[in-house]
Structure 1
Amino acid sequence: MEDDIEMKKRKKRIIIILIVAVVLIAVIFSLVRCGSNVAGAIQSAESMEQALPLAEQDLSSSINATGTVESQNVYSVTTDLTCKVKELKVALGDHVEAGDVLCVFDDSDVREQIATLEEQVSASDQLAAKQNQIAERNLQDAKNDQASQINSANAAITDAQSAYDKANADYNNAKNQLDAAIAQGDDSTIAALQEQVGSLSASVQSANEALKAAKDNLTQVQRTTDQTIQSAQDTVDTNALTNSKDAQTTKELAKLYRQLDQMTVVAGQSGIITQLNIAQGGVPNGSLMQIEDNTNLKVKVSIKEKDITKVQQGMAAKITADALPDQTNTGAVNKVINFASSDAKTADQSAAAGTSGSSGSAYSAEVNVDAGSSLLLGMTVKVEITLKEGGKGMAVPYDSIAADDDGSYVYRGKEQDDGNYLIEKVPVTVGDSTDYYTGISSDELELGDLIISTPDDVQEGDTIPLYVPDDTTSYTVDTE
């Protein structure tokens, strides 16, 4: 932790030095034009301590990442048929609804085989084959129904988990703001924050109950559909035991009946055709096409090694795309992948060392996009993950704060009649921190007070000139 703070301080000093250098150049240029003594101006500017007006800052912290929009639900359409495709109803990029016909196979060969076998067996054997076909179809339908119900139940759990994580994050953020307000003695906001914390606590409890109900529903779905599948399997097994002496012929006939049922292929879910592996007149080789749900989206983002331990499931995220400059989409971290593959790790180390290699990150996370997004599959997006919602409060740069045996303090410059400033020591309570600022509170400080940037260079009671930058917004830069 101390190393991180020291690094941030060094970065901040570099920024200050650069800004002071720019100001000095401007001053020197102006003095040269006016014929003033340059050497004297430099000596005067260098002797000044810098101070910044105390202001409110956003104490939230976040990290930025990039990624590509993907579907949460990808459905692969497959077949074991080897018939030619008679009709192809879709093209790459088409949107389909669940139940839409995707393609139709040529069933002429299968019908001829069925007719030949039906001539070889009795009517009772044909009936047995038909019963086998129906039983097999019911078994497959039961398995498909189970997969569909389990997917829906799991999706409900994911939504409930996201809602719980968000409610919990909102509660923790409000609780942090309340604790900060109490520490600062901000009576004007304490009552409102207490009410908000109470309301959010109830929301957390409600979300937790909804999550438990979703998990219970999955258990019930699994139990019920298992029973249905077992019943269908029992029927198939019973039919196999009661087949006639021409069992092999009956079995083959039942297989052909099942193939006849599969000649028309329909979509198992709504979405966009993102892969198409067949053509009209062609013979399939297992995989027909892929359908990606374009309403339930996610983004897989690369996370820097130094940030991966900060990212947690449920953290809120803002998602933007260059293709949609006026829109900001919201979402939440659904999964943190805190395992680095050896290839990605090597690439990261090469990039850090400045040697050749890709610049990807070894770690990643998945962010689920909230419903109603206009993002499209495959879009490259920027994702800002909020690590902590700190809210606004009085804050100063990290190294404006000093400490001794009595606690933390800052030095304030109090303007005197001669234009110089009297240095005063003001005890402070330290609050939340970002990459640049640290929140402080003190009954003795007011917004606009001039806070010395480098407390090690002054002492209480000094009377000195101060340099105050005209544009203090330059101190809010990202120092990463």
Structure 2
Amino acid sequence: MNKNKVKSLVKKYKKGIIAIGLIIAIGGGIILIKLNGNSTSELNSIGDYVRTVSLEKSSIYDSIAVNGKIESAEVTSVTSALAEKIKTVNVKVGDLVKKGDIIAVLDDTSIKKEIENKKQEISSERQRLKSSYDKAVNSLNTAKSNKAISLAEQDKLVGIAKQNLDSANNELETYKESFQSEESKYNTMLGAIREKKEAYDKSVSTRDNLYNIWINAGGKTDSKEYEEYKKSQEDLTLKEAELEQAKGLYDYDRITESYNSAFEKYNGKLTSKQNAQNEYDSAVSTRAKTINSDDSEIATLNENIKEIDTQIQKLDKNDELKALEEKLTKTVLKAESDGKITELKATVGSMTEGVIATIQSMDKLIITVNIPEYDITKVTVGMKAKISSDSLADKIEGELVRISPTASQAENNSGFSADIAVSNSKGLFIGAKAKAEIIISSKENVFVVPLDAVSGEGEESKISIKNETGEFKEVKVTTGMKNDYYIEVSGDQLKEGVEVKANINLEEMDINNMEPVINGGF
């Protein structure tokens, strides 16, 4: 309130005021004026009276004032994609609901019928698969039993073949010594007659060669070649006689016969051993093939059993049945959040279509505001705010949580839309108007005075404080942060409780017999 308003107020009540108190609020200070006199008293000059404030440590902040509307920060919709009739509606507009509360129930008759049909279909398929599973298990057990029998038979055949092989080996090894003895005798005998045998063989070769020469020369008996041939024949006869004599001396015929008999017998045993070895190898190979065949059959049956079991397991997690059961749960429409029903489109008997109900949280509120373009560079998300509304006794705290990245194109509402979250929603109502001061900056625990209490600027800034004698004297101060109403001051002579002249000029007011009582503060 400026001094012109004060003068107007005083003039209005200049007459007819008897023994009442006039309270005038000016800026951050209060003048309590006691009016004395009777009904004929008139208000006289108050030019000698001033408004003061008492210095106290306080806070000061710079802010942007915005207006807005209270809205819910959490709005959820109860919807249904099912084309079913509504069977029951459990709420009405204005009801408070909790998350999970049933809003409406749809007719589930057709869905339950589909579920029953699907379960019967699954049951039939389960019985078929169970029968196939049991058959496969029986076949597997039979295959395992057959494998055991076959394995025993093959092991027996391999065992017999191994015995035969071992017997042939033993016979061969046992006879080997006798054969080697005969062989040694035979070789010794051959060694003894070797010289005679070599001479005989050489004589045979010579005779055969000379015979060929004689024949090639014409074969005449009176030729030189014939004479040479006759001499070689005579020499051969001599060498043959010498060889026969040596054979007789070393018992050649008997030793040779004995050796040949031993050699034939040894070869027979060697052949028997080789045949036994072949039979053993064949038995081992047959056993391996038989086992592999049995194992392959068992593995195939195991895979069949696993596949059937997998199909049975899938029946327990049948996607179609799962979808139908999930569809059934969606016939019960529930609230997805706490809040108040602000819109309801459901009526019993009607078909579901889109949004059934709208729920707005009453605990999570925001103030939607518009920040002017000239102030947008001053604000950032996270700044604190002070919120007031006609329904609130005191201001409450808030926080700037959203600023639109683009300006509004509306002619009557240019600027940037923003949301201020409310810390305590008690006493606020959705749709009501509210005001907010977005705190740009602030200082705590500093001295602040009204702007008009400071004279001068910069280093010449001064305020008037009351001394012990009741007089005002000017002192220099250092000014700091200020807003539209107050300014921060500091100085050596400032202390709490000091009265500071607010510098309101009241000399035009003319009030008699006034007794002022001054209180200062913010």
TM-score relative to the length of structure 2: 0.45
- Greater Cα radius of gyration, structure 1 or 2: 2
Higher RCO, Cα 8 Å, sep 6+:
2
